[in-house]
A and B are shown apart, each in its own frame.
Chain A
């Protein structure tokens, strides 16, 4: 088993940042009351980040990936998480063989 130094630093940085976000709420519990647009912007962070990460794969790789992403999105509102993943993976394998 190997351990790359830069990878280790990246893991430790991710761990430190994550722990800080986890305990920060403890110190702002009395003060952090977001309302209106500020709350909407804060609530939008997780979906905005998740979409930004996958957008290149989903939209600009090829037709198979783009169509599979659309099929997955339809499934996502009807199936549990694992079912959604299964539909997406099967769709992309089938479409790559067809297109």
Chain B
């Protein structure tokens, strides 16, 4: 559709482009949302709590990490700290994207509530050709947000009928999911050193001291290992 006159940007065209770009991402995220809801329900969260978490936090990695270490009553500070560590990457993403978006400051403050790895990556790609408008951004963002909130809520409703998650291996699903996500960061030497240091320290701390200390200590060990393993000069 854009081919007729690719340099004229209208809100209608931008919305269409946003929907077209986000569609495959939304389809891929649907079962992940169902999975999150089902596991959260198995861990004892109510459907309303799952709905609130997905709609307000809207960050899959942090939510899966929270559910993995979920105990009742919820350890608020530990969850907040783990969320901060996992989502710190947003700072770099926002810093990189900000000069490329064509929105007012207030619009951007609202728009960045919907900042995700996927929306960021698609916007960076689009920014190679033209500025990222509010119409493009919000078309993507609202679809992805509604998709995540609805699929995890439905997962929570269905999950309470599944029964014991161990019987069908569902308790291992997020371990497998995280392994898949980690693989997405590549096989560079620095990444492998990071993963090894984090895994060993987290496993030892969990074994000898216990949850939830393994998350912060393993993460810090991995980050320190990356710092030491990286070459001193700029290489990016």
Q: Which residues of A contact B (CB under 8 A)?
A: 1-4, 6-15, 17-19, 21-26, 28-29, 32, 34-60, 65, 68-69, 72-73, 76-77, 79-82, 84-85, 87-90, 92-93, 96
Contacts and interface: CB of A to CB of B under 8 A. Distances in A.
A90 B170 CA distance: 10
B68 A45 contact: no
A48 B222 CA distance: 5
Contact of B68 (A8, A36, A54): A54
B91 A37 contact: no
B227 to A, nearest CB: 4
A49 B219 contact: yes
Given A13-B80, A40-B227, A53-B215, A88 B179 contact: yes
A66 to B, nearest CB: 10
Given A25-B91, A29-B98, A51-B198, A1 B173 contact: no
Leading 6 A-B pairs by shortest Cβ distance: A25-B94, A88-B176, A48-B222, A52-B218, A40-B230, A44-B226
A1 B156 CA distance: 11
B56 A11 contact: yes
Interface bracket on B:
35 or more
Interface of B: 28, 31-32, 35, 45-49, 52-53, 56-59, 61-66, 68-69, 72-77, 79-80, 82-99, 105, 108-109, 112-113, 115, 168-170, 172-185, 187, 190-191, 194-195, 197-203, 206-207, 211, 214-236
Chain B contact residues, majority secondary structure? helix
B80 A50 contact: no
A23 B185 CA distance: 24
Contacts, number: 321
A53 B68 contact: yes
Given A22-B94, A51-B218, A56-B211, 17 more contacts: A1-B47, A2-B46, A8-B49, A11-B49, A13-B77, A17-B84, A18-B59, A24-B90, A25-B91, A29-B95, A41-B226, A49-B85, A52-B215, A54-B174, A57-B175, A84-B183, A85-B173
B233 A47 contact: no
B180 A21 contact: no
A15 B89 contact: no
Nearest to B81: A17
Given A46-B89, A60-B206, A92-B169, A40 B226 contact: yes
